[in-house]
Amino acid sequence: MDLLHRFSIRLLPPFTSSFNSEKLAPLYLSTRILLSRPAFPNPAPLSTPRSPLSSSAVSKAGWFLGLGDNKKMSLPEIVKAGDPVLHEPARDVEPDEIGSERIQKIIADMVRIMRMAPGVGLAAPQIGIPSRIIVLEDTAEYISYAPKEEIKMQDRRPFDLLVIVNPKLKKKSNRSALFFEGCLSVDGFRAVVERHLDVEVTGFGRDGQPIKVDASGWQARILQHECDHLDGTLYVDKMVPRTFRTVENLDLPLAEGGPKLGVR
């Protein structure tokens, strides 16, 4: 979730100084962590050279922001909306290929790009590869930068790195929630998206062994955001009408009659 990839769930929230459920912005969806406004009044610095990932400034960056310089050494660049690879279904990876040098390099590159963003999720199509592979990770450090009220409302908890090949997602309940999302492939914008609160994802791990993940809350949102990428779907294809906005206008109230953010 910038995320998602960028969330991206990088499954994309800029942190607000005071909690307001009507304007709550998610912390990391298609792929990155959000910046607090006090730390970066203007998100543009994310596009300039920056210090190593360990610095507090970079740690506050996010998949949700959909901002940043992704040109690092020989790593693939983030693909932007409009490229057919983002709008067409990705192909399954043959199980006997998962352990191959090619697939393992793709996975390693995806993890590096996600962490350098830094972000919480990334799908292979976001780096131009039409294969059904997603990676996601949310850390206690990332979460520590969000207001406690937002963390609780979003049911956001840390989880270790997950690599899922050929993921298949299904909902586990009828519960859903509305929060803002962003994507590294749709730079500088946000919109409200309704997502299931409880999902199950099955597939294969990095080692080629079967894997099953039961997720809820923010992790479930990131998984849905990233799995959508594999079906050629961006968050804007699912956004609630009249909630689309620029990052700069994220704190403005929703239009009259707009949705109430939070669990439905």
Q: Which residues neighbour 230 within 8 Å (Cβ) at sequence distance 6 or greater? A: 89, 90, 123, 124, 125, 132, 134, 167
Q: Are 167 and 200 in contact (CB under 8 A)?
A: no
Q: Which residue has the tokens 């962490």?
A: 115
Which one of the listed residues 149, 181, 226, 248 is annotated catalytic? 226
HSE at residue 231, side-chain half, CA atoms within 13 A, is: 14
Strand partners, 163: 135
Q: Are 197 and 216 in contact (CB under 8 A)?
A: yes
* Number of Cβ atoms within 10 Å of the Cβ of 98: 20
Burial of residue 261 (number of CB atoms within 10 Å: 0-12, 13-18, 19+): buried
Give the separation between CA 261 and CA 76, rounded to whole angstroms.
Answer: 35
Burial of residue 235 (number of CB atoms within 10 Å: 0-12, 13-18, 19+): buried
Q: Which residues neighbour 9 within 8 Å (Cβ) at sequence distance 6 or greater? A: 1, 3, 28, 29, 30, 31, 63, 120, 121, 136, 181, 218, 219, 221, 222, 223, 224, 225, 226
Any catalytic annotation for residue 226?
yes
Residues forming the active site: 226
